[in-house]
């Protein structure tokens, strides 16, 4: 199966970090909005295609950032993707996030473009013992 590539035109909100301390309502709004943005970009990437949700998948996230100041430590970067993964499930790209392997976040510094996230999603064989 081919790799599905979804570009989200923004980095996760600061409220998505496990270290963020603020009001729960602000966190809820930010997470809901980021999940919806991911949902819309995922649906747009599948437009016109007959697609069945993936039972098992590997997700390769790449953060495109303008400089090194935007690079998070690895565990916070991965945790900040929770609402994006929920958006993929809502868009029926993945059937269930329990059978998804999310690889560590890689970074690409690009001063010529806006910050964004690129999610490469690839189906894995259901017989694999990942």
| HEC secondary structure over 18-62 | CCCCCCHHHHHHHHHHHHHHHHHHHHHHCCCCCCCCECCEEEEEE
Task: Please state, rounded to an integer, the average pLDDT across all residues of the chain.
Answer: 90
Residue 90 pLDDT greater than 70, yes or no: yes
What ranges do the domains of the chain cover? Answer: 4-123
Tokens of 15: 């409220």
pLDDT reported for residue 49: 79
Let me know: does 87 contact 35? Beta carbons within 8 Å.
Answer: yes
> Which element (helix H / strand E) includes 113?
none
Task: Please give the CATH topology (third level) of the domain spanning 4-123.
Answer: 60s Ribosomal Protein L30; Chain: A; (3.30.1330)
pTM value is 0.88
Closest by CA to 13, choosing from 84, 118, 107, is 84
């Amino acid at each position: 199966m081919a790799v599905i590539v979804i570009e989200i035109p923004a980095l996760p909100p600061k409220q998505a970090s496990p270290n963020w301390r603020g009001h729960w309502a602000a966190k809820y709004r930010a997470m809901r909005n980021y999940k919806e943005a991911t949902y819309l970009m995922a649906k747009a990437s599948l437009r016109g295609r007959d697609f069945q949700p993936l039972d098992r998948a590997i997700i390769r996230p790449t953060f495109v950032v303008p400089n090194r100041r935007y690079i998070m430590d690895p565990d916070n970067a991965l945790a900040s993707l929770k609402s994006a993964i929920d958006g993929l499930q809502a868009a029926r790209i993945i059937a269930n996030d329990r059978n998804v392997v999310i690889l560590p976040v890689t970074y690409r510094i690009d001063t010529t473009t806006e910050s964004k996230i690129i999610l490469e999603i690839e189906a894995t064989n259901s017989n694999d013992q990942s």
